[in-house]
Amino acid sequence: MTKNLNPKTAIVTGSSRGIGRAIAVLLASKGFNVTVNCSSNIADAEKVVKEIEKSGGHAIAVLANVADATAAANIFEQTEKAFGEADVLVNTAGVIAIKPVADTDDATYDRLMDINVKGTFNMLRLASKRLRDNGRIINFSTSALVTNMAGYAIYNASKAAVEAMTRTLSKELAKRKITVNAVAPGAVATELFFQGKTHSFVDQLIRMIPLGRIGEVDDIAPVVAFLASPEAGWISGQTLRVNGAVG
């Protein structure tokens, strides 16, 4: 655990498992107070908190669906109550569905847009008012935007919206020295990634990766930690694709 006499605070949405969990744990190891957010299983979030505390860090768990504006506001309120104003927001919460446009029903479309777009928007709107000056915002997109594979149209549309908000918000918050960037992972070995995919489809994806393997959460978390650091203070409005040289 990195000792920090003036700890900063990070909110990581969707951080009870997968990439979000790895980010929360890594930021805590670097001295951040961390708010671990989940939308359904608070027990998983509390396990992450216990892991952080066992290593000497400080964290809280907050159950909230970011697609709900009131619930999203509660994430900031609970964070401020525990640690004071936040310095970093990482918008990891997201869902995926791989279906051809012709087979996509309204419920699937609405779920992708509600969580990936509206959820990110809700947190960005709050962060624009409540994040400390010199803060950091890191959104999550996808490298599927550069592969244009069949079945990804609606998911990609939701993440294209995230990238658009990232670029514009970086200019809106520049006077306060708050940077806004996005990380766009390629295929990463998480429960969310493997959901609904056959072995043959996963093998097909691996063959598309020039570096010859699926990513791991530990390939992504350090990139986020860098963007959250003082060293990244002149990087803003960018999307960093971390994908094994896919594109």
CA–CA dist 34, 244 (Å, integer) = 29
3-state class of 35 per DSSP?
strand
Task: List, in order, residues 6 or more apart from 235 with CB less than 8 Å away.
Answer: 179, 181, 227
Q: Considering only CA atoms, which of 74, 107, 113 is closest in space to residue 95?
A: 113
14 φ, ψ (degrees, to nearest 5)? 60, 40
Torsion of the alpha carbons at 154, 157, 159 and 162, rounded to the nearest 10? -140
Interior angle at CA 217, CA 139 and CA 153, nearest 5: 55
Q: Which helix (H) or strand (E) holds 11?
A: strand 9-13
Question: Which residues are known to be catalytic?
Answer: 155
Q: How many CB atoms lie within 10 A of CB 91?
A: 30
Task: List, in order, residues 6 or more apart from 81 with CB less than 8 Å away.
Answer: none
